[in-house]
Amino acid sequence: MVLGNKTDLRQVNCMEVTQEEGQSWARDHGLMWMECSAKTKEGLLSAVHHVVEEMLARPSLWEVSADPVALTATTSPSSGCC
């Protein structure tokens, strides 16, 4: 699962990855996409529930992949957004 964080910043148009970009990237890599906010806790419980439900429904998800998906940052860690 890929979690898009900082959804609380959507109102101030300060998100670096759009929902559409995140969904597309996750889909291209065979991953689930959800959004959340660590600050407001919006979406966190739902994401955890979804992961647990998927793992219980498909025990094969517990296996460690021999070919993990590499996650790389495309911007500098301190973009000056927030």
pLDDT value of position 81: 57
pLDDT value of position 75: 56
Is the model's pTM score more than 0.85? Answer: no
Cα–Cα distances in angstroms (integers) from residue 2 to residues 12, 31, 48, 80, in the given order: 22, 7, 12, 23
The per-residue pLDDT string of the chain (82 residues; one tens digit each, 9 = 90 and over) reads 888 878 777 766 666 778 888 889 999 998 888 888 888 888 889 988 988 888 889 877 777 766 666 666 655 555 555 5
Report whether 29 contacts 7 (CB < 8 A): no
pLDDT value of position 70: 65
